[in-house]
A and B are shown apart, each in its own frame.
Chain A
């Protein structure tokens, strides 16, 4: 993203002007009137701005009639029949396939009722081949698609022909795309569209968020906000939030909130339709089970999450819209877009993690702008009571949170450049000019661009041995060509920026597909094991090549599948509020007794983190040593600090094994007891070998894995795809090590670093904190975990440290086994007895 000085001033407009309803053709005015509706002011303003040739960013709360605003100019324009054989007139891009399909359905009504000569079609990964071909021959007037499918369309040679008559590009849910890699891919696709269809205007639609100028730059055609008008519909009154605590015991830790199931069910009974939002898919499964166990009236309550089979999800959505359900337990899969009928109540179980996100979720209820929404927050543990209170204060203060969009990923650029070559030959100068008009790449320098292009061309290695395998070649005029069509096929197989763990489909026998779980979860199941999925208790039968066979039922304690990346980071604004609440006992009065008791217990067993000191607790637990530092600097700063502290502990021989950074604290576990906190936290922590230490971290390796897939270095693993021994698959960790050793300046390592930096804070800020707490480190040596530390110890999202600690533990395990089996010399004795009781193999 460019700095604001370079950005053209964005025209801002508030939608308070009286509506210029004269704009509306009679057919449309009559349609609105027949429904007893009036076009909203911002809908007419979008129409008028569009007709004057402006690009538009419309920021409006949920329920503001955003979607119709986006499409109205197109419908009006298309009311006049176009010549036979015209290309696509309007392209709509949404982050969700389901949203595209739903919008197509919703548009069908006004189009039919006004008898408009408009054909509307969707194009997603699910579109059958014959329809794709037909869309090529006779393009629809309005095409609804996703960023990935757009990239696919643009990589085809006939893309300029398909989009030759394009007038409008509608980008829905911009706030959910800008700043992530899918958004980078879309921005590059939009830049391409502007070259092949310069006459088309863009309309971005967004929920209310922070960083509005950055969002405007994202939607604009020059990447700096030029030619764009920002229209804002003011937010309604902030929602009214209450905090509901379970009767009786309030758990110490855990994020599931299951104790509240009876109270939640009571609330469901009192309302028409309730959405119960939870934070993870595992939580959804567990909550669903617990509610149904006590659902004696058998109220129709359903479950909805991203791993369920699409058909199952569609069924639930349709039942909601038809008013057949009383409640849906949902994850972020219901966060975006679609109008789900009349939702009366929203219950958020577990900490809301961010103010903007909470407001959007709450907006699902009372989908009318002029009414105050109500929602209930259900904290899952004592710490979350503080978080919920902080969120309530944040919402009341109309705080907007979230991170500013970061610069575009170089791996996404590599993918796009290969797609560009698939569409046809290009000159690097023209491509550079084009991609720098996409705001995520507005500030990229030519040398970096050339390095990325070099990577696409032949891998970009200093060792020149891949000339004969190069994917692109340059002709005498410097124009880049694709070397052969096989590379285009490979590109199309690997398109997209979402890198998921390999998934395995679950089926009953050879019949119905229930959904999918991550492969690692299936591989740890034994025949007969039970687990929960799609709200049912399933028994694992066996793993076939690409799917797992299951049956209903089964006994024993069921497992619950968890998914990578299921964790939502808390925004830093909330972390600061939590610290303030903790430091102000006057505010505790508002909390229920268990929370007050918990904080008092912390005072008794350890101490509370003070305003100016740094509380560090150490204690043994389950054979390891733990160090918990209450820094309250936010997760990014804690990630960096985790790297610094573990490096120092490694040097001091403490044998760090891993750490977890939350927004409040950093917790590190080690093989040996950490001592001397003043040395550990001393200011001179920064050193020149930090980079190599961080490069070894699991975080960097994970980041590299994603970069390797997105950039096209390695093939994407298709769900359940058979892996033959002859296939060339190389573990990305090994590639990473080889590259670091032999070409540390390679562009993909740079891409990895720049990605990872998004999850870290600059060292300066951490240094500042260390200077501040110098001489104020308060070390509490405890004999067990403190009340305040419980939630973090149970947190997920851990970073592994590969240092001496792991070696020490292996040596220890070895000694232990040797002792237990009475062996002295390994070469003399054969282990005849099964050592399964020791847990080996």
Chain B
């Protein structure tokens, strides 16, 4: 496993992992956003038989993180399943793997817009939102109270950075540096939304910092104040 980048928020040191996860060493808590498990079978139900291996791949990636961090708790920031029926559609083998992980680690499932309800049979606890000290864990960034620090998912942020002679686009973390952090999507079939899109940019009116996912490390860049792209923003 690779070099995670430290980020200090709310007097807590968080480790941003190049896989797109966040680890809280002091709480032994691993946070993942937007797993979108069973997105493949959701498409299949609509007549698009795209490969069913997405859940397996996402679980593979989760296993690697578990082995590396051995967290006490895993917290999934919503849209863990692509749709309401996703948890039931999980293949028996994948269900067993999830159950095995849950025997090692406690799962906290925060609900998202894709999975507004989850079956009670799912190992772990289900919450609309989760709080721990100053930290709020929710699916979609909201209005934080005073002194609150928020971790969320939902937007699948990605960014394009100019490099010599070209531009590189990658999923990324985006943070204002003191009270808001949005995680990239962790699921195998998840796309992204550019951080310059008003939906994301308006959440960071004073600019901030992005961390692009790389091979075994992150690349960080400052971003300026929100500037809506003309022609797209109304």
Stretch from A392-400, A559-567, A831-839 forming part of the interface with B = A831-839
- Of residues 144 to 169 in B, which have CB atoms within 8 Å of A's CB atoms? 159-166, 168
* B85 CB to nearest chain A CB (Å): 12
- Of residues 31 to 71 in B, which have CB atoms within 8 Å of A's CB atoms? 39-54, 56-57
State whether A834 and B207 are in contact (beta carbons under 8 Å apart), knowing that A463-B91, A728-B43, A742-B51 are contacts in the complex. yes
* B32 CB to nearest chain A CB (Å): 17
- Of residues 692 to 743 in A, which have CB atoms within 8 Å of B's CB atoms? 713-715, 728-731, 734-735, 737-739, 741-743
Are A624 and B164 in contact, with the CB atoms below 8 A?
Answer: yes
* A533 CB to nearest chain B CB (Å): 16
The docked-state distance in angstroms from the alpha carbon of A461 to that of B11 is: 49
Are A826 and B209 in contact, with the CB atoms below 8 A?
Answer: yes
Q: Using Cβ atoms and an 8 Å threshold, which residues of chain B touch A730? A: 39-40, 43, 50, 189, 191
Q: A471 at the A/B interface (Cβ < 8 Å)? A: yes
State whether A459 and B52 are in contact (beta carbons under 8 Å apart), knowing that A526-B229, A813-B161, A841-B196 are contacts in the complex. yes
- B46, B53, B191, B211, most chain A CB atoms within 10 A: B53
Are A714 and B48 in contact, with the CB atoms below 8 A?
Answer: yes
Are B8 and A827 in contact, with the CB atoms below 8 A?
Answer: yes
Are B162 and A839 in contact, with the CB atoms below 8 A?
Answer: yes
Residue of A466, A469, A811, A831 near B219 (CB, 8 A) is: A811
Q: B215 at the A/B interface (Cβ < 8 Å)? A: yes
Residue of A728, A809, A831 near B223 (CB, 8 A) is: A831
Q: Which residue of A lies closest to B58 (CB)?
A: A738
Are A831 and B209 in contact, with the CB atoms below 8 A?
Answer: yes
Residue of A543, A623, A713, A830 near B208 (CB, 8 A) is: A830
Residue of A622, A737, A821, A826 near B165 (CB, 8 A) is: A622
Task: Count residues of A near B (Cβ-Cβ below 8 Å).
Answer: 70
Q: Using Cβ atoms and an 8 Å threshold, which residues of chain B touch A526? A: 229-231
Q: Using Cβ atoms and an 8 Å threshold, which residues of chain B touch A715? A: 48
Contact indicator per residue, chain A 802-841, by CB within 8 Å of chain B (1) or not (0): 0010110111111001000101001111111111100111
Residue of A826, A828, A840 near B161 (CB, 8 A) is: A840
Q: A671 at the A/B interface (Cβ < 8 Å)? A: yes
State whether A821 and B45 are in contact (beta carbons under 8 Å apart), knowing that A743-B53, A826-B209 are contacts in the complex. no
The docked-state distance in angstroms from the alpha carbon of A265 to that of B65 is: 68
Residue of B52, B191, B207 near A461 (CB, 8 A) is: B52
Q: B25 at the A/B interface (Cβ < 8 Å)? A: no
Are A810 and B159 in contact, with the CB atoms below 8 A?
Answer: no
Are A728 and B39 in contact, with the CB atoms below 8 A?
Answer: yes
Q: Using Cβ atoms and an 8 Å threshold, which residues of chain B touch A622? A: 164-165
Q: A490 at the A/B interface (Cβ < 8 Å)? A: yes
Are A810 and B214 in contact, with the CB atoms below 8 A?
Answer: yes
Q: Which residue of B lies closest to A622 (CB)?
A: B165
Q: Using Cβ atoms and an 8 Å threshold, which residues of chain B touch A523? A: 231-232
Are B39 and A830 in contact, with the CB atoms below 8 A?
Answer: no
Are B222 and A459 in contact, with the CB atoms below 8 A?
Answer: no
Q: B212 at the A/B interface (Cβ < 8 Å)? A: yes
Contact indicator per residue, chain A 462-491, by CB within 8 Å of chain B (1) or not (0): 010110010100000000000000110010
Residue of B51, B163, B166, B224 near A841 (CB, 8 A) is: B224
Q: How many pairs, one residue from A and one from B, have CB atoms within 8 Å of each other in the complex?
A: 188
* A733 CB to nearest chain B CB (Å): 9
Residue of A490, A525, A746, A840 near B222 (CB, 8 A) is: A840
Q: Which residue of A lies closest to B47 (CB)?
A: A490
The docked-state distance in angstroms from the alpha carbon of A806 to that of B232 is: 29
Q: Using Cβ atoms and an 8 Å threshold, which residues of chain A touch B211? A: 826
Residue of B7, B82, B164 near A812 (CB, 8 A) is: B164
The docked-state distance in angstroms from the alpha carbon of A794 to that of B55 is: 43
Q: A632 at the A/B interface (Cβ < 8 Å)? A: no
The docked-state distance in angstroms from the alpha carbon of A834 to that of B196 is: 13
The docked-state distance in angstroms from the alpha carbon of A355 to that of B109 is: 65
Q: Using Cβ atoms and an 8 Å threshold, which residues of chain B touch A657? A: 165-166
The docked-state distance in angstroms from the alpha carbon of A487 to that of B46 is: 9
Contact indicator per residue, chain A 508-524, by CB within 8 Å of chain B (1) or not (0): 00000000000000110
* B59 CB to nearest chain A CB (Å): 12
Are A714 and B50 in contact, with the CB atoms below 8 A?
Answer: yes
Are A841 and B232 in contact, with the CB atoms below 8 A?
Answer: no
Are A806 and B189 in contact, with the CB atoms below 8 A?
Answer: no
Are B51 and A735 in contact, with the CB atoms below 8 A?
Answer: yes
- Of residues 440 to 477 in A, which have CB atoms within 8 Å of B's CB atoms? 455, 458-459, 461, 463, 465-466, 469, 471
Q: Using Cβ atoms and an 8 Å threshold, which residues of chain A touch B178? A: 830
* A721 CB to nearest chain B CB (Å): 15
Q: Which residue of A lies closest to B215 (CB)?
A: A807
* A523 CB to nearest chain B CB (Å): 7
Are A826 and B5 in contact, with the CB atoms below 8 A?
Answer: yes
Q: Which residue of A lies closest to B60 (CB)?
A: A741
Q: A540 at the A/B interface (Cβ < 8 Å)? A: yes
Q: Which residue of B lies closest to A739 (CB)?
A: B51
Q: B129 at the A/B interface (Cβ < 8 Å)? A: no
The docked-state distance in angstroms from the alpha carbon of A623 to that of B166 is: 11
The docked-state distance in angstroms from the alpha carbon of A705 to that of B189 is: 15
Are B163 and A728 in contact, with the CB atoms below 8 A?
Answer: no
Residue of A455, A527, A658, A834 near B230 (CB, 8 A) is: A527
Q: Using Cβ atoms and an 8 Å threshold, which residues of chain A touch B231? A: 522-523, 525-527, 540, 542-543
Are A734 and B44 in contact, with the CB atoms below 8 A?
Answer: no
Residue of A471, A746, A807, A831 near B51 (CB, 8 A) is: A746
Q: B177 at the A/B interface (Cβ < 8 Å)? A: yes
Q: Using Cβ atoms and an 8 Å threshold, which residues of chain A touch B212? A: 810
Known: A469-B47, A623-B164. 19 other contacts (CB 8 A): A459-B44, A461-B51, A465-B52, A466-B41, A469-B41, A469-B45, A469-B49, A486-B47, A523-B231, A622-B165, A624-B164, A741-B57, A821-B222, A826-B7, A826-B209, A830-B176, A840-B162, A841-B160, A841-B223
15 contacts between A and B (CB under 8 A): A463-B52, A463-B56, A465-B89, A466-B41, A469-B49, A540-B231, A542-B231, A623-B165, A729-B191, A742-B53, A742-B57, A811-B219, A831-B207, A831-B209, A834-B224
